[in-house]
A and B are shown apart, each in its own frame.
Chain A
Amino acid sequence: VRDSAARQRFEDIWNEHYAAIFAFARRRLSADEAAQDVAADTFLVAWRRLDEVPDEPRAWLLKVARNVLSNYGRGRGRRQALQARLIATRETPTTDAPREATDGLAAAFNRLKPSDREALALVAWEELKPREAAQALGITAPRFSLRLHRAKQRLRKELAASGHVESGTPDEDVGLGPKGDSPDLRMETR
C-alpha cells in the first residue's frame, strides 16, 4: 500500500498530465472512450511503477502511452464487439494523422510515413522538446534530431510537390548521425 506522500505525488502527476496523455491518445484513436482507456492504462502503469517515474514525467508517460497504444489495438475491436457498441474500428491504431485533412499541410502530413508523422507530432502537438521527444521514443537525442530533421525535409518535399510553398528559412542541417527508424509499413503490424 502506498503511503500518503506517494498518493499525493501520483495525484499531482495525474492532475497535471492527464489531459496531455488523453490528448495524445485521442489524436490516434477514433473515440473519447478509447482514449480514456489508454490514458487510464498509462496511469495505472505509472502508479505501479511510481518509483521509476521521473520528476519531469511527461516524456516518460508518453513513452508508456505509446506502448499502451500499440497493445491497445489487439483488444480494442474485441472489447467493442463484445459490448455491442461498435464503431468503425481499425484493429491497429493509426498514427498521428489529422482526421480531417482540410488543407494542403494536413494532406501533406498525412502522406508522410508514420515515423515522420510521429516525430513531427511530438514536437508540434505534444509540444515536447527534442530531448523529451527522444525520451518518449526511447532513443537518443541526436537520433531524434536527425529523425525530426528528415521528417521536416520530407514534409517540405510533400508540400512542394502539392504546390504549397513554405515561407522562411529551412533548418540547419543537423549533420550525420545515427539513424532513422522503422519503415512505413511497420505500423501496420497486428
Chain B
Amino acid sequence: MTPELLEALKQADPVDPAEIRTRPRPAETLAAIIAAEPDANSRGSRLRPTRLIPALVAALALVAVVAALLPGSAGKASPEAAEALSQVAGVAGAQTSTGPTSGFTYSRQIQADRLTTGTGDSPAFSVLVPTRIETWVAPDGSGRVRGVRQGVEWPGPRDERRWRAAGSPPLGAERSSDERFGPGELNDTGAEGNLPPTRELPADPERLAEIFKAEAAISSASVPVDVKSFEYATSVLLQAGSSPELRAALYELVAGIEGVELTGEQRDPIGRTGTAVSIDTDYSGAPTRYTLIFDPDTSQPLANTERLLEPQDWIDGDLLGYAVLERTSHVSSLRDRPKH
C-alpha cells in the first residue's frame, strides 16, 4: 500500500484514537480486575457473571462459590452421552479419507444469525437471518464461496408484530456474495476465532483438547472452558472436508467434556433426524443449551443449535441460532453441484 493510501485509510478510522487516549481509564474496572482471583475461572465453571462493570467482584465471588460446588475436574460427559459419542467416533474411525485428488470438495451449509433489536422505548424483538453458504474447495486450497441470504425467520408472531410496530426497520444488510479464491486461500482456515487451520488439527482427542483449552482460556474471562471447547468441537465438525480421523477425535473429545448430556433423538432445523448431545450454560446471562446433532450411522454431523432454556422478553421463542451442514460431496468443477 502506498503511504498516501495508508494515510487515507487512517483518515477513515471510525474512531478518533487521539481523543480516546485523552479519556481517563476506568479506575473502578481496574480495581475490580485486580480484586479477581488470578485463576478463578481457569477450570471453567459453567456459570459466569453477566457483566463486568461494576459488579465484577461480586460476580466473580459467585462464580468461585459455584465452581467449588460443582463436581470435580475429571471432565466427563454423562455415561449415556459418552457411550453415544464413543460409538459414533468408532463409526468415523472405521472410515477412510476420501478427499479428492482432483475436482472440488463441495459443501452446502445454512447458518442462521440472530438479530436482537430495539430502539428507544420500543420493545425488543429478535429475528433469525439464515444464509446458505456453498463452498467448492480444490486440493490446492483454491475455490469458490457463494453465500445467499435466505430471507428471515421470525421466532414467533410477537416479534414480527413488534418489528412492524417499530416501522419495519431494515433487518441487517443484504449480504450475498460469490467469490473466487486462489491457491491456499481456502484450506488453511480455522473453524472459529484463532483456532489453527482445520487441516492442521491433530486427530488425537487429548491434543485437540489441549489446543481448544488453550484457545478457550484466552477467548474470554467469563466463557467456561468446557462450554467453549464444545463450541469449538461442533464448529470444526461442521466444517466441510474434515477427515474421518479428525471427526472421530472430535467426537471422543466431546465425550470427555464435563456437562455434556445425551439429549436423544432429535430433528435438526431442516427436519433430519439424528442423535443429539448438548451442554447447558448461562454464561451469557440467560440459560442456554448448545446442541450437536449427528447421524450415528454415518458419523456425519448434521447441525448445531443454540436454544434458550427459559423464556426471555427479547425473543418470542427459544431458537437463538443454528448451523446446518446440508450436503457435502465431490464435484468436478466450480459450477457443479451434487445432483441431489
User: Which A residues contact B (CB, under 8 angstroms)?
Assistant: 1-2, 7, 10-11, 14-15, 18-20, 22-23, 26-27, 36-37, 39-41, 43-45, 47-50, 63-64, 66-68, 70-72, 74-75, 77-82, 86-92, 97-101, 103, 105-106, 109, 113, 120, 123-125, 137-138, 143, 150, 152, 155, 166-171, 178-186, 188-190
Contact = CB atoms under 8 A, between A and B. Distances in A.
B283 A75 contact: yes
Given A67-B219, A178-B188, 12 more contacts: A7-B34, A11-B30, A23-B17, A26-B14, A48-B39, A48-B221, A67-B193, A81-B313, A82-B50, A150-B185, A167-B2, A184-B179
24 contacts: A11-B30, A27-B14, A27-B15, A39-B29, A43-B29, A63-B194, A64-B218, A86-B117, A91-B113, A105-B9, A105-B12, A124-B10, A138-B196, A150-B185, A168-B2, A171-B1, A180-B181, A182-B190, A185-B145, A185-B177, A188-B113, A189-B113, A190-B111, A190-B320
Q: Is the interface of B mostly helix, strand, loop or mixed?
A: loop
Given A23-B15, A91-B116, A113 B179 contact: yes
B87 interface: no
A190 B194 contact: no
B182 A180 contact: yes
B312 to A, nearest CB: 7
Interface of B: 1-6, 8-10, 12-15, 17, 20-21, 23, 25-26, 29-30, 32-34, 36-42, 50-53, 56, 111-119, 122, 124, 126, 131, 133, 135, 141, 145, 147, 169, 172, 175, 177, 179, 181-182, 184-190, 192-194, 196-197, 215, 217-223, 228, 235, 283-286, 306, 312-314, 320-323
A184 B147 contact: yes
Contacts of B179: 113, 183-184
Q: Which of B219, B220, B323 has the most CB of A within 10 A?
A: B220
A185 B135 CA distance: 11
A74 B290 CA distance: 12
**Most A C-beta atoms less than 10 A away, residue of B50, B112, B285:** B285
A177 to B, nearest CB: 8
Contacts of A49: 217-218
B50 A75 contact: yes
B34 A71 contact: no
A70 B196 CA distance: 16
A35 to B, nearest CB: 9
Contacts of A155: 1, 5
Contacts of A185: 111, 131, 133, 145, 147, 175, 177
A109 B179 CA distance: 16
Most chain A C-beta atoms within 10 Å of own C-beta, residue among B15, B133, B189: B15
Please name the 5 residue pairs, one residue from A and one from B, whose CB atoms are nearest each other, closest first: A86-B118, A168-B2, A75-B284, A77-B116, A81-B314
B285 A79 contact: yes
A48 B40 contact: yes
A89 to B, nearest CB: 6
A44 B38 contact: no
Contacts of B41: 48
A137 B193 CA distance: 9
A44 B52 contact: yes
A95 to B, nearest CB: 12
